[in-house]
Chains A and B, each alone.
Chain A
Amino acid sequence: MSKISLIVQREYLTRVRKKSFIIMSILGPLLFAALLVLPALLANLEDKEIKQIAVIDESMLLTSYNSGKAVSTIPETEYLKFIALEDVELESLQENFASTGYYAVLYIPANVITSERSLLYSDKQPSLDVSSHISNAMEEQLENMKLAAHNIENLDQILADVATDVKVSSIKWTRDGEAKKSSTGLVMGIGYASGLLIYMFIFLYGSMVMRGVIEEKTSRIVEVIVSSVRPFQLMMGKIIGVGLVGLTQFLIWVVFTGILVVGASTVFGTTMQQQAPMTQVSGNELFSQDENVQGAMEDFSEGEAFMADIFGAFESIEPGKIIIAFLFFFLFGYMLYSSLFAVVGSAVDNETETQQFMLPITLPLILGIILMANVMQNPDGPLAFWFSIFPLTSPVLMMVRMPFEVPLWEILLSGGLLILTIFGTVWMAGKIYRTGILMYGKKVTYKELWKWLKYKN
């Protein structure tokens, strides 16, 4: 055992001391932090630009009058203002659009209630946020109107009843609804990120094991070493050592990224708070039902609300379970594949020859990545089920499913199968490896590997 630990030590220290490792440790978190913070930062910058949207409402359904002045009933937000225009032709606006300073012109045709269509004119591509805000607001109001148009007796009474139900759904669809949305996004994001990380880790460090084996073969040190330790010890020492390197790198990334993100968001968060008093939530009468929700929202700055959402979402997906599952699939997925990578390394004389044996290893890994989208869309479907049980794809795909509340027995089955497969694979890898590392100058085929597997000693 002490020999394995000696090997683990060497494998670990020689790699951790390398320049490339140190550079990766620094660059990785910067990259991650940039990926996490930049979009938010950019979104923030973009949001600060106040967009005025002219509304030409020919239906007059979305216009109300406030002391004789036309006001659009589409709710404005902090950065989105709607200005109702009366007696203005679309054509004339188009001609001198640039000089008006409007971000876009919303044209609501007279027959909007039947056509369910409105047009947003602009000299640029309006952002998705803008168009979805308009679309949501209009849907909402038109639905209400349609309902009112039915002239149902005791409508107020009925509406009040319905409103209680609708109130739930309205939380989902309006401001607070965004929070809910972002938490599904978070769940998917966690699944996707951890699946992708496991895939990356297996590939990076699995092939590191392979290169290590090839290095020992080409430098001809391997026979010196196996005269002191068993080939199996050498292989396991390498796999464990490199695995620890990966884990170290990962932890450094997590910690550094955390520090960077927290650091960045403190700076980012204080600017948000300074802006908070400016936030005006429109108290439009049509949205009065949301008042209590919005009232609660007003206590938060948007940044705090966002953080609260994230924490809320985290709690709902049981972070402890996710982290344990991640470490499990992270390590054992690596274990499974790295033993296969070790076999490939032992079978060849140099890296260029690895190609022929790489396909069976990369195929299931890439399949896992391809299936990720499917699994996220339907995390309880048969495809998701079977591929998150199958050991060669389970490390990636079970992790994608994890945040979506997978039944415990499925997790245990998947994990158990993975461990059993590892025993089988490591045993088999050990046998092939033992013969392979001492073979030189032979063009190895799969048939040859099969023979080595059957050698007695």
Chain B
Amino acid sequence: MEHMLTTTDVIKDFQGHRALNKVSIQVPRGSIFGLLGPNGAGKTTLIRIINQITAPDTGSVIFDGKPLQRDDIFRIGYLPEERGLYKKMKVGEQALYLARLKGLSNAEARKRLKYWFDKFEIGSWWNRKVEELSKGMQQKVQFITTVLHEPELLIFDEPFSGFDPINVNLLKKEILELREKGATIIFSTHNMSSVEELCDHICLINNAETLLEGEVSQVRNKFSSDIISIGFEGDPEKIRTGLNKRFEILEIRENGIGKEARIKLPGGATSNELIAELLQHTEIHSYNEVLPGMNDIFIQVVESASGKNTQKS
């Protein structure tokens, strides 16, 4: 099976309001899948459907090639956005409890917890109450309880909120390591820089509908605006005056590091043509195609979609 999880035309209505409208996603096995979208777009509803906290009105969810079943929750690990622990309970006892709810035996859960507590160097917390721990410490415990039963599918909803930068890095490392070990990861966030860093696939949901789906590189290429960034040495004026008018100069910047020109590549023109043209006027240090950031794509897509909506209504 190529896909770990597929949803097809999932519709979910709440009284008088549609939370998901024919949402179809395909999460490739072994990928880190970014589920993006503004607040209230329907991401959490979709995640809750995958976790069987709620059920879709229509549409299907296929997990590992078969329709989603009750027992599949043992193969899914979920770190919700609204997360926490029993404050009055001891750390170890609580981790054990959550692990056993995920179907692990007492002995197995203890063994695995020992491994993770050693790995995160938090063994000494075992008998401390959760309320005595800092927020970041609690998040570590929470992360462990999410991955302890070695789920094949992991769902992280805004995993980095509440973490300090050091723990964010630790977490990113762990997420990548889990992928190495073969887990598939769904990653829901607003933080676009972490999407660029971690995700291979994305799906953008807005207003209950899928707007954009695919591999991150494809998506970015699709939104490529054919803008080239050139680092150069020499007089900027030479480029301004000398460059063939086919190529539009958007901007020339100078800073301590060097000089950079942004040039739009017209339709039909190749990179080589531009380079050949530039070489007559200046010395080139670098040549890069400027791909739009996920942040820009996110804003662009969501705004144009809501623009359409306002026109419709």
Interface residues of A (CB under 8 A from B): 3, 6-7, 10, 14, 215-216, 219-221, 223-229, 231, 438, 440, 451, 454-457
Contact = CB atoms under 8 A, between A and B. Distances in A.
A224 B80 contact: yes
Interface stretch (B52-60, B254-262, B275-283): B52-60
A18 to B, nearest CB: 9
| Of B53, B76, B78, B79, most A-chain CB atoms within 10 Å | B53
17 contacts: A3-B101, A6-B100, A7-B101, A14-B89, A219-B84, A220-B80, A220-B83, A220-B84, A223-B53, A223-B80, A224-B78, A224-B98, A225-B98, A227-B51, A228-B102, A438-B82, A456-B57
The interface residues of chain B, by DSSP majority, are classed as loop
B15 A455 contact: yes
Contacts of B54: 457
A456 B15 CA distance: 10
B97 interface: yes
A64 B276 CA distance: 146
Contacts of B100: 6
Given A451-B15, A455-B14, A456-B57, A228 B84 contact: no
B70 to A, nearest CB: 9
A348 to B, nearest CB: 16
A224 to B, nearest CB: 6
Interface in B68-94: 73, 76, 78-80, 82-89
Contacts of A220: 80, 82-84
B87 A219 contact: yes
Contacts of B85: 219, 221, 224
Contacts of A231: 53
Nearest to A13: B93
Given A6-B97, A219-B85, A219-B86, 13 more contacts: A6-B101, A7-B101, A14-B88, A219-B84, A220-B84, A221-B85, A221-B86, A223-B78, A224-B84, A224-B85, A226-B53, A227-B76, A438-B82
Give chain B's interface residue range (CB within 8 Å of chain A): 20 to 34
B189 interface: no
A281 to B, nearest CB: 63
A220 B15 CA distance: 24
B188 interface: no
Given A223-B53, A440-B82, A456-B57, A228 B98 contact: yes
Contacts, number: 66
A456 B12 CA distance: 10
Contact of B101 (A228, A451, A456): A228
A228 B148 CA distance: 13
Contacts of A216: 86
Contacts of A457: 54-55
B7 interface: no
A224 B83 contact: yes
B80 A229 contact: no
A225 B102 CA distance: 9
B145 interface: yes
Contacts of A455: 14-15
Contact of A224 (B52, B76, B145): B145
Closest 4 interchain pairs by CB?
Answer: A220-B84, A457-B55, A228-B101, A223-B80
Given A227-B73, A455-B15, A438 B53 contact: yes
A451 B52 CA distance: 21
Contacts of B80: 220, 223-224, 227
Nearest to A454: B15
Contacts of A7: 101
| Of A215, A221, A454, A455, most B-chain CB atoms within 10 Å | A221
Contacts of A440: 82
A221 B15 contact: no
Interface string B20-44: 0000000000000000000000000
| Of A224, A229, A457, most B-chain CB atoms within 10 Å | A224
Nearest to B149: A228
A85 B74 CA distance: 94
A4 B102 CA distance: 12
A226 B49 CA distance: 12
A452 to B, nearest CB: 9
